[in-house]
Amino acid sequence: MIKEIVLATKNRHKNEEIKSILKDLDIKIIPMTSFPDYPATIEDGATLEENAAKKAREAAEFFKKWAIADDSGLEVDYLNGSPGIYSARYAGRNCSYDDNNKKLLAELKNVPEEKRTANFRTVIAVASPDGRLFLADGKIFGTIKRHTVGIDGFGYDPVFYVPEYGKTFAELSCEIKNSLSHRAEALQKVKKIIKNLSNLQLSF
């Protein structure tokens, strides 16, 4: 039976979001924040898939447990898919969320509304200590605002506008965001993967 799984991210916001979405699974989710000395994975992949897989595999091998890891990116059409895999460090190494948003808004300063389309994309990897790997993805489309709006969320949430709700991610409640976001879509697929593995009585 599935008993526990390591959540391979030290991002506090991602930890909270992922644990909330997976809370109905009858397994113990062990956050990476419980292991401050665990070395950070060098994210040198060319795609979200490669980075997510590397993080999950390294954690699974290190802890000898199953692990899940995500890699997410904001892909802006006008910028040919940037910042993409560099979303977290778009404004430079050790930059803040605010730094990234300021850089993005500056680059889109004179871009008209119809060309400010974008999507958030997430890839989540589920890895076993013996090398098995499963991938799930999710995507949501929107546009980029001309200024930050809202105080909730994290990352690019204050500038990512969801037309269906007439709000940015940072204006939506956690419940709504966690029902429609790119990460939520990917995690629903992860739930199915984990349940299928449990049904096959594979040990974690």
Binding-site members are: 9-14, 71-72, 154-157, 177, 182-183
- CB-based burial of residue 34 (10 Å sphere; 0-12 exposed, 13-18 middle, 19+ buried)? exposed
Binding residues for Mg(2+), by number, are 71
Beta strand 117-127 pairing with 28-31: unpaired
| Binding-site residues for substrate | 9-14, 72, 154-157, 177, 182-183
Q: Is 71 a catalytic residue?
A: yes
State whether residue 170 is helix, strand or coil.
Answer: helix
Among 26, 37, 71, 98, which one carries the catalytic annotation? 71
Residue 107, CA distances (Å) to 71, 73, 102, 111 in order: 23, 17, 9, 8
Separation CA 81–CA 49 (nearest Å): 15
- In one-letter notation, the amino acid at residue 19 is K
For helices 12-21 and 182-199, the axis angle rounded to 10 degrees is: 60
Dump the DSSP string for 77-98.
Answer: GGGTT-BGGGGGGTT-TT--HH
Measured between alpha carbons, how far is 91 from 100 in angstroms, rounded to an integer? 5
Q: In sequence order, which residues have a C-beta less than 8 Å from that of residue 35 and are 6 or more positions away?
A: none
Q: So which residues are the catalytic ones?
A: 71
